Structure 1
Amino acid sequence: MMSNSVTLEEKVKPLHIKHIMEQIGLTDDDFEYYGKFTGKIRLEVMEKMKDKPDGKLIIVTAITPTPSGEGKTLTSIGLSQALNKIGKKSIVTLREPSLGPVFGIKGGATGGGKSQVIPSELINLHFNGDIHAVASAHNLLAALIDAHIHHGNELRIDVNNITWERTIDMNDRALRHIVIGLGGKANGVPRESGFVITAASETMAILCMAGSRADLKRRLCEIVIGYNLDGEPVKA
């Protein structure tokens, strides 16, 4: 199926992203271009659209994919195509794929056949860098925790009760449960930790839930990274 999808993609000339934006009523001021075919809608659009009626939301979830990879993504794309075909204005919203599934037996994460989004290679491999940015922010906090402990641990963080793990955009089972801080005093305090896949990290969840930049900052500050020696929560 994947080879057929690639063949079909090669036969299609993608539209400039500007044409797609015009179809849903957005202008250049509403959008940041990342080349000809991708980009990001500015957060200010939420304020611009606040007085317009809400659309209808259809959630596609909990589908077991077929051996050919027909699952939630392909179904969502096909459903959106069908709605547009009958005259409805429909937009499909997909999460950015993680590198683990992309390089595994599941293949890509952009649909397949005539129900796929393109350019698939760009989307599957980092896209516009959002997952990388989330991982960097998440791991910065993890590094700050260990640096704080190394430099005296003023907050009296219990090293055996730290709940904030690191993250990576790869479902590598060997990193799920690890020991860090080995190699002597200069390398930190030895303790158990682990990695979670970035798409399932708390930082990603907060980004998805935040309604504004101010709300995002507030939620990030409320993160509980673990507990002190008195059993009290320690926040970011």
Structure 2
Amino acid sequence: MPRSPTTSPAVTPSDPAPPPQGCDGTSPFQPDGPAPARSGSDRLYVTVTAVIVVLPFVAIGLAGRHGTHLRGQSRGLLHAHVGRLFRNDRTPPERYAPDLLADRDIRAVARAFPALCVLTLALPFAVGWAIGGTWVYGVTALLWAGLVRIALLHHVTWSVNSLCHLIGERPFRTRRHDRATHLWPPALLSFGESRHNLHHADPTSARHGVDRGQLDPSAAAIRLLERLGWVYDVRRPTAERVEARRA
């Protein structure tokens, strides 16, 4: 008896895997898979970063007193940078700045200082909101053009009191135990104030960066105000005066 041909069951092809979807800016993100294990280079990067960030604070914390050793210098550096602001030893302006106290315009600026602080934060928020159209843009502008700007400005200013008495060059003679230096990296952001060695050598000089290639935006601003007739009796160092103070 002839055998009937057998038919194999139909095989349904499996559905192809859907292509990965990209983010169109409105759809939710696709769930991520398991995070890959950290490699040796990743662990080394995290370790080195942690050491760089934490070690200075550990050194400052271990510092017992001011002195010439590492612990004392670390503590002194912290005090010169920001610690002095938390001590109740206010400098008497009547003794050190009587001319400023007698200036009517300076007194008006001092009285308006709280309002100026509010204004310098409110303006970035308002401009960011006006440009972006939402409060998120306002907060972003407040963060970068307000808080970050103020933090950067303060740390640059404080560095003149701390770093510019610890590291840098001393091309000019100063009084005994005077450690003021020229530190070029923050020169532009500090408007030339980090050329601090000459300021101690010649305190009445309106210019701190006197050598070739030394930027001094403060001196340029003073010169502009002088040409406009808003300042006068500006004391600039002569070549003979500068050379007489070189170390």
Give your verdict on TM over 0.5.
Answer: no
Task: From the two aligned structures, give the one with the greater helix fraction.
Answer: 2
Higher RCO (Cα < 8 Å, 6 or more apart): 1
Q: Which has the larger radius of gyration?
A: 2
Q: Output the TM-score relative to the length of structure 1.
A: 0.21
Task: From the two aligned structures, give the one with the greater strand fraction.
Answer: 1
